[in-house]
Amino acid sequence: MIAAQLWIEKNKGSSSISDDLREGLKDPSRIKLKDDCKIVATAIRYKANCIYSEDDGVQKFAQGKIEVRDVPKYLMKQAGLFDSQKRGTSLNNSIKELINC
């Protein structure tokens, strides 16, 4: 229900995709936008404090509804295969930051 309401609101009452919503998106396909809408609706439904995403569609649907933060850069770097001590510390720091969202 939340996803449907969000979709209608962002498309100005129409079931088709508005030009405002498509504007500036890298991939404005209907399927991708519906998935972005579902992600935001799920976060709202489960009362998340924020969403970690660098996706432009998620950011557009979340605008004014829920905070969207960029994915922390150190989460994007994969630790070396034999770097277990360093990987554990990095993971602990990542989890602490995500919890403090």
Q: For residue range 62-89, what is the model confidence (pLDDT) as tens digits?
A: 999 999 999 887 665 655 555 555 545 5
Q: How far is CA 56 from CA 28, 36, 73, 90, 91, in A?
A: 10, 9, 17, 27, 26
| Statement to judge: residues 12 and 42 lie in one domain | yes
pTM assigned to the model: 0.70
pLDDT value of position 8: 87
| Statement to judge: residues 22 and 43 lie in one domain | yes
- The number of distinct structural domains making up the chain is 2
| Statement to judge: residues 47 and 94 lie in one domain | no
| Statement to judge: residues 10 and 22 lie in one domain | yes
| Statement to judge: residues 90 and 58 lie in one domain | no
Domain that holds residue 82: 72-101
